Structure 1
Amino acid sequence: MKFHLVTASILSLFLVACSEKSPSVTTDARPLEQAQTSLKDAYIDAFLIGAALNEDQIYERDSEVDDIITSQFNSIVAENCMKAENIHPEEDDFFWEEADAFIAFGLKNEMSIIGHTLAWHSQTPDWLFVDENGEDVSRDVLLERMQNHITTIMQRYKGKVKGWDVVNEAILDDGSMRESKFYEIIGPDWVEKMFIFANQADPDAELYYNDYSMAIPEKREGAYALVKGMQDKGIRVDGIGMQGHINLDGPTLEAFEESLLRFAELGQVMITELDVTVLPWPGTEVGAEVSMSVEFQDEFNPYRNGLTPAVEAHLHKRYVEMFSLFHKHADKIDRVTLWGVTDANSWRNDWPMDGRTDYPLLFDRANKPKPFVQEIITITN
């Protein structure tokens, strides 16, 4: 894989004076130096720097965003186009167009390509679990359908995808297994079966377990036990994806680090789906359960016209601390992936309530780097 220094023409997109009043940017943005390397080049000896791509980015519909992706990142993951409801909407119908375009984008730009996700309780079509009468299918039928689903997708992209999030979010915050339809119909060994099918479909691809809130001690130990149990049975699991959907204050660096070190005992660690919400949370439990939905309320959208200097400083500190932690443990981390490219296209704007204005990523709504991107780059010096 080749990695190129960012040219002056691409770095020119970084030269901007950001308005404190505009919701499209964060406050007090400073330009990156012309001679500074990109994020991917700064961390070239540490770990891959990735981004999740949506449909517009896959099809290269915005040249400024495309420049950010190709100049700053050396790994990409499919945000939605490989999820079951998108790629396999009907039993005998696979929709390949978007996933093929995603793969083509990665190959063209010599990027490390990650597939997401083969088995997940959410964004999964209803047909998978029911028969022609709408009744739950048997264990054997669901296993057969999932083996076909996994094998068909993985073999289509064999040799092109570095690794797959085989199973996503099978553990609850208390460390117990989520009683999803997979669990109800197949049983507690359903995760094992998915990894067995994936290994059979492509023995050369890396296989990951991916989940959110992995710094919660009970969830950490539940996920650890799940993966360690599979490995002890000879079932291949190459690494753990620690989803980085975090907020300004939680989890603590100490808790995140403890989980990172624990998971490193099992294999590779990937920091996946990284973003930092600045918005107040409409509830007591903070996580990334996509089924959560709350009616819009103004009090939970306080920064529609831009961040205050205090919140901007807090976000700055949080990102620098997190990347400092990642760099400290670079020998254990294979990849750090942002869940999106710019604030404008982040899922955080619409979850768990539509219409909010969030600032969770490294690049703002004007496609410019935030003031702390330069500091994140210089951590490696």
Structure 2
Amino acid sequence: MKHIILFGLMTFMIPNFNAQKSDLSLKKAFQDKFYIGTAMNLEQINRTDKKSVEIIKKEFSSIVAENCMKSMYLQPKEGQFFFKDADTFVEFGEKNKMFIIGHTLIWHSQAPDWFFVDKEGKNVSPEVLKQRMKNHITTIVSRYKGRVKGWDVVNEAILEDGSYRKSKFYEILGEEFIPLAFKYAQEADPNAELYYNDYNEWHLGKVKTVTQLVKDLKSKGIRIDGVGMQAHVGMDTPSIDEYEKAILEYAESGVKLNITELDISALPSPWGTSANIADKVAYDEKMNPYKNGLPKEVQTQWEKRYEDFFNLFLKHKESIRRVTLWGVSDNQSWKNDFPIKGRTDYPLLFDRQFKAKPVVGKLIKLAEESN
């Protein structure tokens, strides 16, 4: 938009510098760097949340389903698959030419109880669990072969100290369940990218075990293309240096990095509280300090934190395949009410009115200035 000012016979076109460029978007700014993505919930997948859908189409080049592709939703009863929501999700991604991610094939949480037990409620044999894993993975990956471009094959199997999580998968099959899952996925779609995904992935013990896992899979001829770093981070932890060291370690193991579930909480860390009821009430209040919005100084610090992380991602763009936000707007974030009911958080790039926060423009500028 321009204003026209006449001086005698001369006409001057004065640009309106307050007008926003309609073609500016995260998707366009990062198109030569890495995919920029978001998680989609059911309201977005089914197009009932129209404001979010418009943001997703304009701003993001990759999508992942927040819940509907987890095993408890896809196969709630053995042999009975429910594909309606997942089909709609994949169709949305295809229609909008997005890099589609499947999340997640094997995860101890949000898995149906039948997966691990027989008719008497006892643990199934290793042979039965292997067959159930193979059937689940093969059925799903084959259905979306060539359409879903990358799969979180195994999710959250390693603890921060580097030990294996004592899940039902581990209890019945031991460490073998991870290479088996990747083998089944690779057989079902040889061209899809295959990832291991986890949180707190900068902890030294976890970095050591995951990088060794990558090397072990490769030594067995089993393909793993990437490691997913969930990046649910706070204002202070982890440090940028800690995160960079983890990126370098994973890249050195010969895989691409995916920043898979990025959100930055502006709230104080909630871990640790007293059993005393009076203390707990006071503690809960202390852990929810910004009920009506972030103070300006906190907002500034929060924006700087996002800029620091994106500067890091751009620095290592050769090693990073994708950066995915875990949601679109603050009102939809899982960080609200977690882990204390009533908490109000502001971890995403769009506010509760679905408006882009100032940090969006800053991230676009960072991308445009990056070589």
TM-score (norm 2): 0.90
Secondary structure at the aligned position of 2:246 is classed as: helix
Structure with max Cα Rg: 2
Q: Distance in 1 between matches of 2:57 and 2:86?
A: 18
Q: Distance in 2 between matches of 1:176 and 1:207?
A: 22
Distance 1:150 1:206, change over 3 A: same
One of 201, 225, 228 as aligned partner of 1:214: 201
Higher mean displacement: 264-273 or 129-138:
264-273
Q: Distance in 2 between matches of 1:242 and 1:83?
A: 18
Partner of 1:231: 218
Q: Distance in 2 between matches of 1:94 and 1:35?
A: 42
Partner AA of 2:145 in structure 1: K
One of 340, 343, 346 as aligned partner of 1:359: 346
> Where does 1:1-381 land on structure 2 (aligned, <5 Å)?
33-34=20-21, 37-265=24-252, 266-283=254-271, 297-380=284-367, 381=369
Gaps in structure 1 of 5+ consecutive residues: 1-7, 9-30, 286-293
User: Following TM superposition, by how much is the alpha carbon of 1:304 offset from its aligned partner in structure 2, in angstroms?
Assistant: 1.1
User: Following TM superposition, by how much is the alpha carbon of 1:33 offset from its aligned partner in structure 2, in angstroms?
Assistant: 2.6
Partner AA of 1:117 in structure 2: T
Deviations 1:249-275 (A, max 9, x none): 110001101111111122111111000
Q: For the Cα contact (< 8 Å) 1:158–1:202, is it kept in 2?
A: yes
User: Following TM superposition, by how much is the alpha carbon of 1:36 offset from its aligned partner in structure 2, in angstroms?
Assistant: 5.7
Q: Distance in 1 between matches of 2:71 and 2:97?
A: 26
Higher mean displacement: 331-340 or 56-65:
56-65
Distance 1:97 1:32, change over 3 A: farther
TM-score (norm 1): 0.87
Partner AA of 1:174 in structure 2: D
User: Following TM superposition, by how much is the alpha carbon of 1:297 offset from its aligned partner in structure 2, in angstroms?
Assistant: 2.4
Secondary structure at the aligned position of 2:230 is classed as: strand
User: Following TM superposition, by how much is the alpha carbon of 1:235 offset from its aligned partner in structure 2, in angstroms?
Assistant: 1.0
Structure 1 residue runs of 4 or more that deviate by more than 6 Å after TM superposition: none
Distance 1:362 1:376, change over 3 A: same
User: Following TM superposition, by how much is the alpha carbon of 1:354 offset from its aligned partner in structure 2, in angstroms?
Assistant: 2.8
Q: For the Cα contact (< 8 Å) 1:32–1:374, is it kept in 2?
A: no
User: Following TM superposition, by how much is the alpha carbon of 1:355 offset from its aligned partner in structure 2, in angstroms?
Assistant: 2.6
Gaps in structure 2 of 5+ consecutive residues: 2-17, 274-279
Of structures 1 and 2, the one scoring higher in RCO (CA 8 A, sep 6+) is 1
Partner AA of 1:245 in structure 2: H
The CA RMSD over aligned residues, in Å, is: 1.7
User: Following TM superposition, by how much is the alpha carbon of 1:92 offset from its aligned partner in structure 2, in angstroms?
Assistant: 1.9
User: Following TM superposition, by how much is the alpha carbon of 1:32 offset from its aligned partner in structure 2, in angstroms?
Assistant: 7.9
User: Following TM superposition, by how much is the alpha carbon of 1:239 offset from its aligned partner in structure 2, in angstroms?
Assistant: 0.8
User: Following TM superposition, by how much is the alpha carbon of 1:35 offset from its aligned partner in structure 2, in angstroms?
Assistant: 5.3
Q: Distance in 1 between matches of 2:19 and 2:225?
A: 37
Partner of 1:3: none
User: Following TM superposition, by how much is the alpha carbon of 1:282 offset from its aligned partner in structure 2, in angstroms?
Assistant: 2.1
